[in-house]
Amino acid sequence: MDRRLTGISASPGIVAGPVYVLHWEVPEVPQRIVSDEEIPAEIDRFSQTLARARDRLEYVRRRAAHHAGEEEAGIFEAQMLILQDTDMIGRVDGLIRQNLAAESAFEITMLDLRHHFARHASAMMRERVGDLADVQIRVLSLLLGLPDHDPVDVPKGANAILVTHDLTPSLTVQLDREAIAAIATDAGTRVSHVAILARSLGIPAVVGLRDATSRLRTGEMAILDGAAGTISVNPTADEIRHFNERSQREAKLTEELDLLRSAEPVTLDGQRLTLRANVDFPEEADFAARSGAEGVGLMRTEFLVVGRTTMPDEDEQFRAYKKVAESFHGAPVVIRTYDIGGDKLPVGGHAAEANPFLGWRAIRMCLDEPEMFKVQLRALMRAAMFGDVRIMLPLVVSQEEVQQARALIAEGSSELEARGVAHRKDIPVGVMIETPAAAVSADSFVGDASFFSIGTNDLTQYTLAIDRGNANLAPRFTPLHPAVLRLIQRTVEVGDANGIEVTVCGEMASQPLTAFALIGLGVRSMSVSPRSVTLLKRLVRGTTATVAAACATKAMGARTAVASEAIILDAFTRTFGEVAELLDGLPHVM
Ligand code: PEP
Ligand code: MG
């Protein structure tokens, strides 16, 4: 076995600890039949297995509620309902009576249910496909005598590296930070939601390892280097020495960066930037506010919906948005309306579409479900009474989407007025520039959009036609491709010419090398993960905007992504010298 596995850097930090492999995939079911005499015992075996699965699920739910909170642990309620569903049990019993073994009968029934749910007209029902898959894995593992384990089984203080195929919502809520120190997954890329989640939680992570679950064994010692995207198994004395040195350097850099919290992000030639924070969970707001960020540039509201059986109502959403607004004491708080679909959680949402990234998601879904959308818009307008809350619309491709959203905001406002509820009617409404269409025709939003925010994760995906979540394509996912750079520059130009603020809130802003290129393209406002705010201040304060601009112009004229990256990397390394590697946690390509 190779001693070193290389994947994609997802969340920085270096951890040495035991590996914990979690096989959370639907197992292969060998076809088996039972004789007529065996049928009653088989029905009994199935019923006892369901009882064991329910006990186990209740245990997992309690443990998750303990460290993640009761509301988050609610994700298991739908799974419990499936385990108790009399229709499902009746169908399985019926198939056993036709001489199928319990596991075969259960598998057929679940496949049928998944198929049915995946094609359901209601999005909420389609989202249940993920729960069905979880139940299928749990029950089949018990019926087949496979190890039944869950992340909550990792003992506190284990400092474990959790290795799994992918991180589903139900696995995510089980992550106890006192037990699990790092995450490694076969699937995913830097911009997939596993990675974004790991960065929000501050857990070092490597994704896109492809076959880590089959190459690693539970209990093996390993070093996971989140910035380098590597795992060293059974490390040598040399690797351990390197680990110690690297942790010391990282700790020293963190200490130095901490001193920059209240420093101004001003370049060496006097350009003042605005640095805001990306917030994925309302609970992160206080941490983000202490990070030195001047507000929130992107709050991803879809994480409020993860694992729920119903959408959060107006009051619940209002409380969440108000909490974030209040944490920032009047600084701008940009809240994005639901961006559900694509690779966005809940997992089940994309089973029904052949091309979910080109599908019914984000603003498209919201405009088609106006009643659901207005609940969110009303909650946002109410929260805007407690801070500078601004609305941001995702995946916009043309002007009428903004106008339709504005019409719904006006309707929502009249509804609140009729109820006598205080709210901000003239709440600013901005658009995300994350499709080539929006970037090329950015001028068509002038007059309708209060601000632009460039989502470079999707902009790169749609410009290069490279699936952001596909680990096999990760080396081709090159945000420094000249085409992407030109679209960003065009958006900045339109913004500057019309007095519209342009922020970049995609991952390019959070990474020093790509952020250096953004400064060169004229970007003066960025929204980054809270843990990157001081790192970005360090970057800005060491950059000369005119040098970055000359290098960005040259990169835009390059013929290939490789050439463009080399130009940026060269200027970056010359600017930052010895600290360049540490600052950027190279490898540089996302
Ligand atoms: C983006 O696309 O760059 C972005 C910020 O949004 P998300 O990553 O949530 O799609
Ligand atoms: Mg996006």
210: CATH: 3.50.30.10
Ligand 1, closest atom to CA 453? 5
**pLDDT band at 348; cut points 50, 70, 90:** very low
Same domain for 136 and 220, yes or no, is no
**Which pLDDT belongs to residue 8?**
87
166 lines ligand 1 (CB under 6 A): no
Final residue of a structural domain among 236, 263, 297:
236
Residue of 299, 393, 434 best suited for mutating to test ligand 1, as the one with most atoms within 8 Å of CB: 434
The DSSP element (H or E) to which 268 belongs, if any, is none
| 249 CA distance to ligand 2 middle (Å) | 33
Please give the share of the chain, as a percent, with pLDDT higher than 90. 64
Q: Once rounded to an integer, what is the mean pLDDT over residues 379-398?
A: 98
**Which pLDDT belongs to residue 116?**
81
Q: Once rounded to an integer, what is the mean pLDDT over residues 212-237?
A: 92
**Which pLDDT belongs to residue 10?**
86
Instruction: Flag the least confident range among 308-317, 437-446, 479-488.
Output: 308-317
Mean pLDDT of the chain: 89
pLDDT at position 408 over 90: yes
Query: Residue 447: which region, alpha, beta or left (left: phi > 0; alpha: psi -120 to 50)?
Result: left
**pLDDT band at 473; cut points 50, 70, 90:** confident
Structure tokens belonging to residue 156: 């506190």
Closest ligand to Cα 196: 1
341 lines ligand 1 (CB under 6 A): no
Q: What is the pLDDT of residues 353-370, one digit of tens each?
A: 788 889 888 999 999 989
460 lines ligand 1 (CB under 6 A): no
506 lines ligand 1 (CB under 6 A): yes
Same domain for 276 and 398, yes or no, is yes
**Which pLDDT belongs to residue 423?**
98
| 505 CA distance to ligand 2 middle (Å) | 9
Q: Is residue 127 part of a domain?
A: yes
| 415 CA distance to ligand 2 middle (Å) | 30
Q: What is the pLDDT of residues 503-545, one digit of tens each?
A: 999 999 999 999 999 999 999 999 998 989 999 999 999 999 9
Same domain for 296 and 360, yes or no, is yes
Q: What is the pLDDT of residues 9-67, one digit of tens each?
A: 888 889 999 999 998 888 899 989 999 999 999 999 999 999 999 999 998 888 888 87
Final residue of a structural domain among 92, 126, 143:
143
**Residue 66: active-site member:** no
Q: Is residue 250 part of a domain?
A: no
Catalytic residue among 350, 423, 505, 588: 505
Asked if 21 and 51 count as a contact pair (C-beta separation under 8 A), the reply is no
Same domain for 363 and 215, yes or no, is no
107 lines ligand 1 (CB under 6 A): no
Residue of 199, 396, 477, 505 best suited for mutating to test ligand 1, as the one with most atoms within 8 Å of CB: 505
Structure tokens belonging to residue 29: 């079911």
Read off the CATH number of the domain in which 79 is found: 1.10.274.10
Q: Once rounded to an integer, what is the mean pLDDT over residues 173-199?
A: 81
302 lines ligand 1 (CB under 6 A): no
| 494 CA distance to ligand 1 middle (Å) | 21
**Residue 551: active-site member:** no
**Which pLDDT belongs to residue 265?**
97
479 lines ligand 1 (CB under 6 A): no
Same domain for 321 and 436, yes or no, is yes
Ligand 1, closest atom to CA 455? 3
Q: Is residue 557 part of a domain?
A: yes
**Which pLDDT belongs to residue 37?**
96
**Which pLDDT belongs to residue 233?**
93
488 lines ligand 1 (CB under 6 A): no
| 458 CA distance to ligand 2 middle (Å) | 5
Give the residue with greater pLDDT, 560 vs 72.
560
Q: How many CB atoms lie within 10 A of CB 44?
A: 12
Task: Tell me how long the chain is.
Answer: 590
The CA distances from residue 116 to 27, 95, 112, 219, 484, in Å, are 21, 18, 6, 40, 40
Q: Once rounded to an integer, what is the mean pLDDT over residues 283-305?
A: 90
Q: How many domains does one find in the chain?
A: 3
Same domain for 326 and 421, yes or no, is yes
Q: Which residues contact 448 (CB under 8 A, 6 or more apart)?
A: 399, 402, 403, 406, 429
The DSSP element (H or E) to which 421 belongs, if any, is none
pLDDT at position 350 over 60: no
**Which pLDDT belongs to residue 347?**
36
pLDDT at position 86 over 90: yes
Q: What is the pLDDT of residues 256-287, one digit of tens each?
A: 899 999 999 999 999 999 999 999 888 788 88
Q: If you take atom 4 of ligand 1, which residue's CA is the nearest one?
A: 455
Final residue of a structural domain among 83, 113, 143:
143
Give the residue with greater pLDDT, 193 vs 436.
436
Q: Is residue 155 part of a domain?
A: yes
Same domain for 454 and 510, yes or no, is yes
**Which pLDDT belongs to residue 349?**
42
Please choose, from the candidates 145, 92, 90, 135, the residue with its C-alpha nearest in 3D space to the C-alpha of residue 114.
Answer: 135
Same domain for 346 and 203, yes or no, is no
The CA distances from residue 246 to 225, 234, 490, in Å, are 9, 18, 40
The DSSP element (H or E) to which 56 belongs, if any, is helix 39-68
Q: Is residue 31 part of a domain?
A: no
Give the residue with greater pLDDT, 304 vs 490.
490
pLDDT at position 305 over 90: no
Read off the CATH number of the domain in which 462 is found: 3.20.20.60
Q: What is the pLDDT of residues 92-150, one digit of tens each?
A: 999 999 999 999 999 999 999 888 877 766 666 666 777 888 899 999 999 999 877 78
Q: Is 422 exposed, middle or buried (0-12, 13-18, 19+ CB in 10 A)?
A: exposed
Same domain for 196 and 275, yes or no, is no
342 lines ligand 1 (CB under 6 A): no
**Which pLDDT belongs to residue 251?**
84
Phi (first) and psi of residue 145, to 5 degrees: 70, 25
Q: What is the layout of strands, in order, in the sheet containing 8-11?
A: 4-6, 230-233, 221-225, 14-22, 160-164, 180-185, 205-207, 8-11
Q: If you take atom 10 of ligand 1, which residue's CA is the nearest one?
A: 458
**pLDDT band at 336; cut points 50, 70, 90:** very high
CA 210 to chain centre: 19
Structure tokens belonging to residue 191: 């911009």
| 151 CA distance to ligand 2 middle (Å) | 29
Q: Is residue 590 part of a domain?
A: no
CA distance 220 to 158: 13
Instruction: Flag the least confident range among 8-17, 147-156, 230-239.
Output: 147-156
Q: Is residue 589 part of a domain?
A: no
Q: If you take atom 6 of ligand 1, which residue's CA is the nearest one?
A: 455
Same domain for 268 and 383, yes or no, is yes
300 lines ligand 1 (CB under 6 A): yes
**pLDDT band at 177; cut points 50, 70, 90:** confident
Asked if 348 and 113 count as a contact pair (C-beta separation under 8 A), the reply is no
Same domain for 432 and 369, yes or no, is yes
Same domain for 133 and 155, yes or no, is no
Closest ligand to Cα 453: 1
Ligand 1, closest atom to CA 454? 3
Ligand 1, closest atom to CA 506? 3
Q: Is residue 196 part of a domain?
A: yes
458 lines ligand 1 (CB under 6 A): yes
Residue 336 half-sphere exposure toward CB, CA atoms < 13 A: 32
Its domain, for residue 339, covers: 255-583
